[in-house]
Structure 1
Amino acid sequence: MRIELVMTLKRQETKILAELHSSKEPVLITEHGQPSAYLVDVKDYEFMQQRIKILEGIARGEQAIKNGNTFSNQEAKEKMNKWLK
């Protein structure tokens, strides 16, 4: 991962963005020596957001199982048939 100062980003934004798009490597932007933000390619960001949604769905399913909020196979089929009509 590349690390750039916020001042460098301000001065060389076109170059940094071009390198970001070609390498797909995130850029960590720092201010006063501290991490401030990540600069990532749009497609990579959207891909990460989609993965997060999938993982959140899996986590909700695992929590439902722990809480006993499950259906038998037959109950699930009946609910799906009603829902799909």
Structure 2
Amino acid sequence: MRVELVTTLKRQATKILADLHRTKEPVLITEHGQPSAYLVDVQDYEFMQRRLALLEGLSKGERAFLEGNHTAHEAARKRLQKWLK
């Protein structure tokens, strides 16, 4: 992963963005020697957001199941029958 100072980003934003779009490699921006932000390609960010939403949905389903909040297949099919026609 590429690491850049925030001052370098200020001075060379166009070049850093061009490299980012070309390589798709995230850039870690540092301030005062400490990590401050990640610069990522828009498509990669949107992909990560979709993946996160999917994982959150799976986690909610798993939690509901573990808490006993589920319905047997046959009972669920009967409840949903009106929409499955």
TM class, shorter-chain normalised?
over 0.9
Q: 1:71 aligns to what SS in structure 2?
A: coil
Structure 1 runs (4+) greater than 4 angstroms displaced: none
Provide the C-alpha distance between the structure 2 equivalents of 1:80 and 1:24, rounded to a whole number of angstroms. Answer: 44
Instruction: Output one character per residue of 1:23-58: Cα deviation in whole Å (capped at 9) or x when no partner.
Output: 000000000000000000000000000000000011
Provide the aligned C-alpha RMSD in A.
Answer: 1.4
The TM-score with structure 2 as length reference comes to 0.92
Aligned-partner residue type, residue 50 of structure 1: R
- Percentage of pairs with the same residue: 66
Provide the C-alpha distance between the structure 2 equivalents of 1:56 and 1:83, rounded to a whole number of angstroms. Answer: 26
Q: Which shows bigger deviation, 68-77 or 42-51?
A: 68-77
Q: Which runs of 5+ in 1 are unaligned?
A: none
The TM-score with structure 1 as length reference comes to 0.92
Q: 2:71 aligns to what SS in structure 1?
A: coil
Aligned-partner residue type, residue 5 of structure 2: L
- In the TM superposition, what is the alpha-carbon distance from 1:84 to its structure 2 partner? 5.7
Q: 2:25 aligns to what SS in structure 1?
A: coil
Q: Match of 1:29?
A: 29
Aligned pair count? Answer: 85
Q: Which runs of 5+ in 2 are unaligned?
A: none
Instruction: Output one character per residue of 1:6-29: Cα deviation in whole Å (capped at 9) or x when no partner.
Output: 000000000000000010000000
Aligned ranges for residues 1-85 of structure 1 at < 5 Å?
1-83=1-83
